[in-house]
């Protein structure tokens, strides 16, 4: 299967060009290597609710991504609004991905309980929030990556429910 994937980084410093977006590079490598996904859109936006929402909507409705992975903005800081932006644009929640990522991360660091990442569906697009750090992205994405092809197959209608 060939999956169309969007990457959205929410980072004030990344948006201003003050920090290299190494987390998105980790996402790109894992998606291309593990599920043969094609990155069809990538962008960096500031930690602003409206900009995150607009990017998610454009990636789903215009670019018709099968999967959107966000990085950044999932912590407890006042400007961390990626989960709220995601919840504002999805039609249905798909909490198992975020739960599995937190459960796996908790085995490595108790700080992972501070993650407010969410996952859900807009139309036929799966949207999953990942942490902002490259290490967090690697750990969290590897916790769920083996289930993504099946989930995307069901969601896009390319595969029957439950295999």
Q: Which of 99, 34, 47 is nearest to 78 (CA)?
A: 47
Task: Supply the pLDDT for residue 159.
Answer: 80
Q: Which 3-state string (H, E, C) describes 68-91?
A: EEEECCCCCCCCCCHHHHHHHHCC
Task: Supply the pLDDT for residue 162.
Answer: 57
pLDDT in tens, the chain (163 residues): 789 999 999 999 999 999 999 999 999 999 999 999 999 999 999 999 999 999 999 999 999 999 999 999 999 999 999 999 999 999 999 999 999 999 999 999 889 999 999 999 999 999 999 999 999 999 999 999 999 999 999 999 988 765 4
Task: Supply the pLDDT for residue 160.
Answer: 72
Residue 91 sits in a domain whose CATH number is 3.40.980.10
Domain span including residue 97: 3-156
Please answer whether residues 97 and 90 qualify as being in contact, where contact means their C-beta atoms are separated by less than 8 angstroms: no
Task: Supply the pLDDT for residue 161.
Answer: 66
| Residue 103 φ/ψ, nearest 5 degrees | -60, -45
Q: Number of structural domains, the chain? A: 1
Looking at the domain assignment, is residue 41 inside a domain?
A: yes
Looking at the domain assignment, is residue 162 inside a domain?
A: no
Task: Output the pTM of the full model.
Answer: 0.96
Task: Supply the pLDDT for residue 60.
Answer: 98
Task: Supply the pLDDT for residue 2.
Answer: 87
């Amino acid at each position: 299967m060939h999956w169309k994937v969007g990457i959205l980084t929410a980072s004030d410093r990344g948006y201003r060009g003050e920090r290299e977006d190494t987390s998105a590079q980790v996402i790109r490598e894992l998606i291309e290597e593990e599920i043969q996904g094609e990155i069809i859109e990538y962008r960096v936006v500031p930690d602003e609710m409206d900009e995150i929402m607009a990017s998610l909507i454009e990636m789903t409705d215009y670019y018709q991504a099968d999967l959107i992975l966000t990085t950044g903005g999932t912590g407890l800081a006042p400007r961390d609004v990626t989960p709220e932006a995601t919840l504002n644009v999805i039609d249905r929640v798909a909490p198992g991905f975020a739960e599995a990522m937190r459960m796996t991360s908790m085995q490595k660091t108790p700080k992972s309980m501070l993650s407010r990442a969410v996952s859900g569906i807009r139309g036929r697009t799966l949207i999953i929030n990942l942490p902002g750090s490259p290490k967090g992205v690697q750990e969290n994405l590897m916790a769920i990556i083996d289930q993504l092809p099946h989930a995307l197959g069901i969601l896009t209608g390319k595969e029957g429910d439950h295999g």
